[in-house]
Amino acid sequence: MDAYVEEIRKLKNKFSGLEIHHIDRDNNVGADVLSKLGSTRAAIPPGVFVHELHHPSVKVQSQQATDEEAPAIVREVLMVEEDWRIQFIDFIKEFKLPPHVDAKSAEAAHIIRQSKGFVLVSDNLYKRSTSDILMKCVTLEEGKDILREIHEGVCGNYVASRTLVGKAYRLGFFWPTAVSDAEDLVR
């Protein structure tokens, strides 16, 4: 994002004026539709034109050049967690276990047993609840965002962690770390 902000700063003197307006999430329907279009690979609605980028539109300096020019730069290390849904999607689609799991191990049996509670609907993973209602499986980050929205009052202000998780489940979302995420948020 820093590279894009820098590009905007380079271009701002080329315009006669620049206004930035904050749009509430509730009124940002257009951006929501476009983001869902990109993430679900759904059919493109009429009037929307898609231009696929096969490389970043802004050049990011290489790490080596950055190290030579400014040795005092602090490096950030980001942990990328593997999407928890992939092992279930792969098993449901192709009966394929993760590469690090032995087919006869207890972990393989655990994945096979748990996958029976999931359903794949047009490449989207859903968890079957105890009342046979399908809950959409979301990433851990999306789940934390859902809890944050509920806790901050979008869906009513709830303080208890179990209440937050119950509300998220009733909204139709599922992820495996919901309870611990809610406890961390409330704390």
The per-residue pLDDT for 137 is: 94
Residue spans of the domains in the chain: they are 138-187
Average pLDDT over every residue of 22-42: 70
Average pLDDT over every residue of 31-40: 70
Instruction: Kindly report, residue by residue over 105-135, the tens digit of the pLDDT.
Output: 888 888 899 999 999 998 899 999 888 889 9
Instruction: Kindly report, residue by residue over 40-89, the tens digit of the pLDDT.
Output: 766 776 776 777 777 777 776 654 444 455 444 454 555 556 788 988 99
Q: Assess contact for 118 and 88: CB atoms under 8 A.
A: yes
Closest CA to 95 of 77, 115, 76: 115
Q: What angle do CA 120, 163, 126 make, to 5 degrees?
A: 0
Question: Which of 183 and 12 is assigned the larger pLDDT?
Answer: 183
- Phi/psi region, residue 126 (left: phi>0; alpha: psi -120 to 50; beta: rest), is beta
The per-residue pLDDT for 20 is: 62
Which of the 8 DSSP states describes residue 47?
T
pLDDT over 60 (residue 95): yes
The per-residue pLDDT for 30 is: 72
The per-residue pLDDT for 64 is: 47
pTM: 0.52
Give percent above pLDDT 70 in the chain: 73
Average pLDDT over every residue of 81-108: 86
CA dist., res. 116 & res. 95, Å (int): 12
Q: Sorting pLDDT into bands at 50, 70 and 90, what band is 156?
A: low
CA dist., res. 37 & res. 45, Å (int): 9
In sequence order, what are the residues at sequence separation of 6 or more whose Cβ sits closer than 8 angstroms to the Cβ of residue 12?
18
- Phi/psi region, residue 156 (left: phi>0; alpha: psi -120 to 50; beta: rest), is left
Q: What mean pLDDT, rounded, does the chain reach?
A: 78
Question: Which of 151 and 46 is assigned the larger pLDDT?
Answer: 151
Q: Which residues pair with 135 in a beta bridge?
A: 127
Q: What backbone torsions phi and psi does residue 82 show, to the nearest 5 degrees?
A: -70, 140
Burial of 41 (0-12, 13-18, 19+ CB in 10 A): exposed
